[in-house]
């Protein structure tokens, strides 16, 4: 579905190499995690995967077609096929638009039936369609963002730190929702996070990034069970235990 080969992104003015020699492939139906701390190159990589920026060197291909050099007018297929859910739903939703118009916007037309279908899919009532983003909680706004991303029926969903701004209870709910929707809509998922614990909950394969490079990559259980790189071990040691944290908040015992 996605192939990245020897990708580099250099910002000459800042004299920064944001990406250096990044290569990986994402198979159709896979749940691929990209994890690393702030400054590791994750956000730059997301922009290149979505053809919102161009690499200094290397290639990005989608379904076997290179997209890294295409002008915007030839990227319409990608804008339908690949959708992004961002970290801050309030920042990505137009506060002046009703939910029905936000969700319909990628379709280019108002479609009440499609909006109702998507709101139900993400766990929101149909009457949410007539309200504005500020009238919802953070978790509900993220559900709206997910509904909007699903509107054009994409094949790939890129989730860029989608739960980092949410409290632990809501975080678990959104992760469970993404898990269900990936199956229900037969999606390929690229999930980006600084938190290895979160990635483990939704992904089956993971790439660990540090300073613009992939330092370790493999099946989730392999990487988590026997990490080969010291940086991966450091991330694992620092990762919170999401189920244990949730159980504590709900009155369970600490683990």
How confident is the model over 71-119, as pLDDT tens digits? 999 999 999 999 999 888 778 889 999 999 999 988 877 788 999 999 9
The strand pairing partners of 172, in sequence order, are: none
> Under DSSP, is residue 103 helix (H, G, I), strand (E, B) or coil?
helix
pLDDT for 19-33, tens place per residue?
999 999 999 999 999
The H-assigned helical ranges of 39-137 are 42-49, 76-81, 89-92, 99-104, 112-121
Contacts of 229 (CB under 8 A, 6+ apart): 208, 215, 216
> Under DSSP, is residue 36 helix (H, G, I), strand (E, B) or coil?
coil
Rounded to whole angstroms, how far apart are CA atoms 223 and 206? Answer: 8
pLDDT for 171-214, tens place per residue?
899 999 999 999 999 999 999 998 888 898 899 999 999 999 99
* CA dist 176 → 115, 179, 180, 182, 202 (Å): 21, 5, 6, 10, 8
Rounded to whole angstroms, how far apart are CA atoms 33 and 22? Answer: 14
> Under DSSP, is residue 33 helix (H, G, I), strand (E, B) or coil?
strand
- Using the 8-state DSSP alphabet, how is residue 55 labeled? -
- Do the beta carbons of residue 154 and residue 189 sit within 8 Å? no
- The four Cα atoms 238, 161, 178, 78 give a dihedral, to 10 degrees, of -140
Decide if pLDDT at 251 tops 80.
no
- SS3 percent helix, strand, coil of the chain, rounded to 5, is 40, 25, 35
DSSP states along 119-174: HHHTT--GGGGGS-GGGS-HHHHHHHHHHHHHTT--SEEEEESTTTTS-HHHHHHH
> Under DSSP, is residue 227 helix (H, G, I), strand (E, B) or coil?
coil
The strand pairing partners of 158, in sequence order, are: 84, 190
Domain spans in the chain, listed from the N-terminal domain onward:
2-249
In this prediction, residue 159 carries a pLDDT of 95
In this prediction, residue 255 carries a pLDDT of 37
In this prediction, residue 253 carries a pLDDT of 41
**Residue 201's Cα: distance from chain center in Å?**
13
- Which CATH number is 2-249 given? 3.40.50.300
- Do the beta carbons of residue 8 and residue 20 sit within 8 Å? yes
Q: Using 50, 70 and 90 to split pLDDT, how confident is the model at 223? A: very high
């Amino acid at each position: 579905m996605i192939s990245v080969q020897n990708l580099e992104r250099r910002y000459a003015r800042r004299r920064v190499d944001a990406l250096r020699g990044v290569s990986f492939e994402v198979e159709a139906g896979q749940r691929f995690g990209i994890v690393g701390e702030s400054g590791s190159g994750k956000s730059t990589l997301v922009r290149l995967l979505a053809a919102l920026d161009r690499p200094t060197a290397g290639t990005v291909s989608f379904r076997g077609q290179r997209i890294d050099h295409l002008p915007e007018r030839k990227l319409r297929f990608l804008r339908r096929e690949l959708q992004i859910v961002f970290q801050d739903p309030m920042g990505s939703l137009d506060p002046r638009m009703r939910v029905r118009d936000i969700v319909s916007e990628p379709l280019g037309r108002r479609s009440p039936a499609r909006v109702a279908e998507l709101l139900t899919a993400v766990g929101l009532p149909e009457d949410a369609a007539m309200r504005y983003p500020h009238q919802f909680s953070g978790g509900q706004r993220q559900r709206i963002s997910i509904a909007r991303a699903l509107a054009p029926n994409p094949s790939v969903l890129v989730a860029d730190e989608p739960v980092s701004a949410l409290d632990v209870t809501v975080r678990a709910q959104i992760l469970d929702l993404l898990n269900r929707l990936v199956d229900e809509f037969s999606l390929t998922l690229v999930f980006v996070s600084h938190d290895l614990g979160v990635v483990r909950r939704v992904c089956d394969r993971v790439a660990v990034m540090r300073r613009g490079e992939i330092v370790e990559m493999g099946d989730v259980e392999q990487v988590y069970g026997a990490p080969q790189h010291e940086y991966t071990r450091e991330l694992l040691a620092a990762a919170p235990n999401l189920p244990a944290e949730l159980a504590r908040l709900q009155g369970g015992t600490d683990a």
